[in-house]
C-alpha cells in the first residue's frame, strides 16, 4: 500500500479534529479533538519520513508525543479545576479573560 494513503488518512483525522474543536463545547471533547489533530500531524510526519527514507520525521513525532503528553497533564488539570470552580466544562463559559 502506498504511504500516500496514510497522508490522506491524516488529513481526514485532522479535519475531524479541527471540526471537533470548532464545533464542540465540552472542554474534554475539545481536548480530545486537539489530541486527534496532534496525532494526525504525527501520522503525516511518520508517513513522510517513510516516503523520503529519512528518520527526521519519526524523531519529530516522538517530540510531539512528549509535548502532547505534557500538554494533556496541564490541560486536564486546568479543565478539572475549571469544572470544580464553575460546575461546567463548557469552553464558552470560560470567558474570564475577556476585556
Partner 1 sequence: MIGLLVGVPLLGAAVLLCGGRRLDRSGHWLGTLLAAASFAIGAVLFFSMLGEDAEHRAMHSKLFSWVPVEGFQADVAFQLDQLSMTFVLLITGVGTLIHLYSVGYMEHDPGRRRFFGYLNLFLAAMLLLVLADNYLLLYVGWEGVGLASYLLIGFWQHKPTAATAAKKAFLVNRVGDAGLAIAIFLMFTTFGTFAFAPVLSSAGEASEGKLTAIGLMLLLAACGKSAQVPLQSWLGDAMEGPTPVSALIHAATMVTAGVYLITRSGAVFNGAPDAQLVVVVVGAVTLLFGALVGCAKDDIKKALAGSTMSQIGYMILAAGLGPIGYAFAIMHLVTHGFFKAGLFLGAGSVMHGMNDEVDMRRYGGLRKYMPVTFVTFGLGYLAIIGFPGLSGFFSKDQIIEAAFAKGGTEGWILGAVTLLGAAITAYYMTRVMLMTFFGEERWRKAATPSPDRPDVEPAAETRGEHAEPHPHESPKIMTIPMIVLAFGSVFAGGLFKAGESFVNWLEPVTAFEHGHSPVSAATVTTATVVALVIGVGAAWFQYGRKPVPAVAPRGNLLTRAARRDLLQDDFNHVVLVSGGTHLTRSLVYVDHKVVDGAVNGTAATFGGLSGRLRRLQNGFARSYAVSMFGGAAVLIAATLLMRAV
Report angle CA 97, 68, 72 to the nearest 5 degrees: 55
Nearer to partner 1, 9 or 94 (CB): 94
- Give how far Cα 95 sits from Cα of 33, 71, 75, Å: 20, 21, 16
Q: Closest separation between CB of residue 1 and partner 1, Å?
A: 27
- β-bridge mates for residue 90, sequence order: 26
Cβ neighbours, 10 Å, residue 83: 14
- Distance between CA 99 and CA 65 in Å, rounded? 34
Q: Closest separation between CB of residue 46 and partner 1, Å?
A: 21
Nearer to partner 1, 55 or 78 (CB): 78
Q: Closest separation between CB of residue 68 and partner 1, Å?
A: 17
Nearer to partner 1, 66 or 81 (CB): 81
Instruction: Kindly list the residues in this chain that would bind partner 1 in the complex (CB under 8 A).
Output: 18, 21-23, 25, 30, 91-92, 94-99
Q: Closest separation between CB of residue 55 and partner 1, Å?
A: 26
Residues comprising the chain, all counted: 99
Amino acid at each position: 500500500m502506498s504511504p500516500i494513503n496514510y497522508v490522506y488518512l491524516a488529513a481526514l483525522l485532522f479535519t475531524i479534529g479541527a471540526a471537533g474543536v470548532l464545533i464542540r463545547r465540552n472542554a474534554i471533547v475539545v481536548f480530545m479533538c486537539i489530541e486527534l489533530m496532534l496525532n494526525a500531524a504525527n501520522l503525516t510526519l511518520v508517513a513522510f519520513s517513510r516516503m523520503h527514507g529519512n528518520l527526521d520525521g519519526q524523531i519529530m513525532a516522538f517530540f510531539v508525543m512528549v509535548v502532547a503528553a505534557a500538554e494533556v497533564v496541564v490541560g486536564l488539570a486546568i479543565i478539572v479545576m475549571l469544572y470544580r470552580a464553575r460546575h461546567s466544562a463548557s469552553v464558552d463559559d470560560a470567558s474570564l479573560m475577556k476585556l
